[in-house]
Amino acid sequence: MRGHASRLLAALAIASGAGGVGAQQVREPSVFEVPPAQLAPSLLTVDIERLFSQSQFGQRIAETYTQDRIELNVENRRIAEALRAEELDLTARRAEMEPDVFRTEAQAFDEKAQGIRRAQDAKETALEESLNDARTQFLEVTQPILGQLMVERGAFAILDRRSVLLSLGSIDITDDAIARIDETIGDGSEAAAALDDEPDETPAPDAETGDN
């Protein structure tokens, strides 16, 4: 193994113009070191999930979602208990009710319960969509920050680390990106508000005009 390493170092020395003849004049590996700026990787990676979960911006979004989820769960339990109590009351009164009257009330209760269920399902869907929208907004707001880091490192692309099979740990900039995001926009409240305030640039459809 040592002989193989010596031959490799000798070859490197000759190829780099280190001079000298024979393995005895091979320089130490340190001569092949160059400043990090000259070894800038062309690709960088970032862990999007960590970026979201550990940055102040992402944590604010997650906390808002969690609170909304808790409130919706409490509301669902309260509604379920109320419907259960109403169902039990209807069942208890069944013996003293005319069959037609019971069927009418039972049908009305069933329609009411299904309507409430649809409304709560819509709230569930809206809550999940709000989280997806917030994550999209997070990526949109933080993209310029990641872009600046990319330029500073002399790279031409940043990949999601989950899509990379093998890489050197030195090309992962997740920790630096989290620190830069926190330093630049904090919890992202102002940046998100500014993004929401941007006018919609979608062109309005042209009004139809008739030929004179």
pLDDT value at residue 24: 46
Asked whether residue 127 carries a pLDDT value surpassing 50, the answer given is: yes
Domain ranges of the chain: 27-197
Of 7-21, 40-54, 186-200, which has the strongest mean pLDDT? Answer: 40-54
194 vs 60 pLDDT, higher one? 60
pLDDT value at residue 113: 96
Could you report the per-residue pLDDT of 161-173, keeping only the tens digit for each?
888 877 777 889 9
Average pLDDT over residues 181-209: 73
- Supply the pTM of this predicted model: 0.69
Contacts by 61-66, CB closer than 8 A, 24 or more apart: 61/131, 61/134, 61/135, 61/138, 61/188, 64/134, 65/127, 65/130, 65/131, 65/134
Give phi and psi for 45, each to the nearest 5. Answer: -125, 155
pLDDT over 70 percentage in the chain: 73
CA distance 121 to 102: 28
141 vs 163 pLDDT, higher one? 141
pLDDT value at residue 163: 84
pLDDT value at residue 185: 94
